């Protein structure tokens, strides 16, 4: 069992990070908060082999006969929350990642602690019954997790983006949503609506808002 992978961050997009360790490149599925935490580290990580500049992700492996998936998290607490979600009947790895991309770890814990099934049920593929089951099964366990504040706070961008930059944000957001299983047409409409209202949003923030709309 892999506890963590530490190495050079060679590729990064909102759904996957590639970390090179001992000459092997590991494709690791990540959440949107994980992407936010890693933004900006890709270039720094590649510039030097210094130990302090390597990135580290805590790993959860999903292994079945026809599947071997690797999920990575910036903190152990975030990984624990993901693994707690997997213990709930009806919640698979894809749904758990979707939930943890729609909300930060602290936001999700707060929803569970306060019994806010309505907000949680907005995540694609979840539904009110499964959301309520998550709350019932995990309320006591989630409250005890030490998240150390919110390590997944989104980075703030410049006050304004030019058209080229906004188009890049739009394309990357739609691509990420498509990889997460949403139809490209519906993703495009949601992203366009968000960017029309707030054209200076960073890509990770756009994706998070779109996940709540789709």
What architecture (CATH level 2) is domain 76-144?
Orthogonal Bundle (1.10)
CB 49 within 8 A of CB 41: no
Cα distance between residue 34 and residue 100, in whole Å = 9
DSSP bridge pairs for 71: 29, 60
Q: Which 8-state DSSP code applies to residue 103?
A: S
Every domain of the chain with CATH number 1.10.150.20 lies at 76-144
* pLDDT (average), residues 188-207: 85
Every domain of the chain with CATH number 1.10.8.10 lies at 163-213
Residue 3 clears pLDDT 80, i.e. is over it = yes
Class (C level, CATH) for 4-73:
mainly beta
Every domain of the chain with CATH number 2.40.50.140 lies at 4-73
* pLDDT (average), residues 28-39: 91
Side-chain half-sphere CA neighbours of 42 within 13 A: 13
Tens-place pLDDT, residues 51-82: 556 899 999 999 888 888 999 999 998 999 99
What architecture (CATH level 2) is domain 163-213?
Orthogonal Bundle (1.10)
Residue 200 clears pLDDT 90, i.e. is over it = no
Rg (CA), the chain: 17
**36 versus 178: which is more confidently predicted?**
36
Q: What's the burial of 16, exposed, middle or buried (CB within 10 Å: 0-12/13-18/19+)?
A: middle
Q: What's the burial of 146, exposed, middle or buried (CB within 10 Å: 0-12/13-18/19+)?
A: exposed
* pLDDT (average), residues 133-159: 61
Q: Give the H/E segment covering residue 46.
A: helix 41-47
Cα distance between residue 99 and residue 174, in whole Å = 18
pLDDT at 29: 96
Q: Percent of the chain, pLDDT > 90?
A: 31
Tell me how many degrees the CA angle 109-102-141 measures, rounded to the nearest 5. 20
DSSP per-residue string spanning 65-82:
TTEEEEEEESSHHHHHHH
In Å, how far are 87, 105, 173, 191, 211 from 178, measured between CA atoms?
26, 23, 9, 12, 11
- Of the pLDDT bands very low, low, confident and very high (cuts 50, 70, 90), residue 171 is confident
Residue indicated by tokens 């049920």: 121
* pLDDT (average), residues 140-163: 49
Residue 105 clears pLDDT 50, i.e. is over it = yes
Residue 160 clears pLDDT 50, i.e. is over it = no
pLDDT at 104: 84
- Of the pLDDT bands very low, low, confident and very high (cuts 50, 70, 90), residue 182 is confident
Angle of helix 93-102 relative to helix 105-114, nearest 10 degrees? 100
* pLDDT (average), residues 25-51: 76
CB 6 within 8 A of CB 55: yes
* pLDDT (average), residues 42-53: 56
pLDDT at 69: 92
């Amino acid at each position: 069992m892999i506890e963590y992978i530490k190495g050079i961050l060679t590729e990064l997009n909102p759904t996957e990070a590639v970390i090179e360790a001992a000459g092997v490149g590991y494709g690791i599925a990540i959440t949107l908060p994980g992407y936010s935490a890693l933004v900006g580290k890709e270039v720094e990580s590649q510039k030097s082999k210094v130990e302090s500049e390597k990135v580290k992700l805590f790993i959860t492996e999903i292994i079945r006969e026809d599947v071997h998936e690797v999920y990575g998290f910036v903190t152990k607490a975030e990984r624990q929350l993901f693994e707690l979600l997997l213990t709930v009947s009806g919640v698979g790895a894809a749904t758990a990642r979707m939930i943890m991309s729609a909300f930060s770890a602290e936001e999700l814990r707060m929803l569970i602690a306060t019994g806010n099934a309505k907000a949680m049920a907005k995540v694609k593929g979840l539904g009110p019954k499964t959301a309520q089951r998550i709350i019932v099964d995990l309320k006591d366990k989630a409250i005890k997790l030490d998240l150390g504040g919110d390590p997944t706070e989104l980075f703030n961008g410049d006050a304004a983006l030019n058209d080229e930059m906004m188009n890049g944000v739009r394309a990357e957001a739609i691509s990420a949503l498509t990889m997460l299983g949403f139809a490209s047409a519906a993703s495009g409409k949601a992203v366009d609506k968000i960017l029309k209202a707030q054209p200076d949003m960073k890509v990770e923030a756009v994706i998070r808002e779109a996940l709540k709309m789709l």
